Amino acid sequence: MSVLITSEVLGEHPLLTSISTDLKISTTWVRGGDGLVGFGEYKRFEVKGKNRFKEANNWWQKQLSAFTINNNVHGIGTGPILFTSFAFDPEDLSVLIIPKIVIGQKSGKSWITWIGEGKQPKISKIINSPSSGSITWENNSIDEQKWQSQISKAVTAIRNGRLEKVVLARDLTATSSTDININNLLQRLEIDYPSTWVFLVDDLVGATPELLVRLSKSMITSRVLAGTIQKTGHEDRDLALAASLAKSSKDLEEHEYAVKSVADALAPFCSSTNVPESPFVLHLSNVMHLATDVTGVLTDSAKKTDIFTLIENLHPSAAVCGTPTEDAKKLIKELEQLNRDRYAGPVGWIDANGDGEIAIALRCGILGNNNKTIRIFAGCGIVAGSDPVTEYAESQAKLMPMRTALETL
Question: pTM higher than 0.75 for the full model?
Answer: yes
* Confidence category of residue 123, pLDDT binned at 50, 70, 90: confident
Q: Which fold has domain 3-116+132-407?
A: Anthranilate synthase (3.60.120)
* Confidence category of residue 398, pLDDT binned at 50, 70, 90: very high
- Tell me: the pLDDT tens digits for 3-14? 899 999 987 666
Instruction: Look at residues 143, 103, 172 and name the one whose alpha carbon lies nearest to residue 398.
Output: 172
Q: Which amino acid is at 166?
A: V
The Cα 221–Cα 360 span in angstroms is 13
180 in Cβ contact with 409 (< 8 Å): yes
Over 80: is that where the pLDDT of 20 sits?
Answer: no
- Tell me: the pLDDT tens digits for 73-115? 989 999 999 999 999 999 999 999 999 999 999 988 899 999 9
Annotate 67-118 with DSSP letters as a single string: EEEEESS-STT-SSEEEEE--SSTTS-EEEEE-SEEEEEETTEEEEEEESSS
Over 90: is that where the pLDDT of 272 sits?
Answer: yes
Instruction: Look at residues 27, 395, 366 and name the one whose alpha carbon lies nearest to residue 174.
Output: 366
The Cα 42–Cα 101 span in angstroms is 8
| Mean pLDDT calculated for residue range 216-244 | 94
| Mean pLDDT calculated for residue range 26-42 | 94
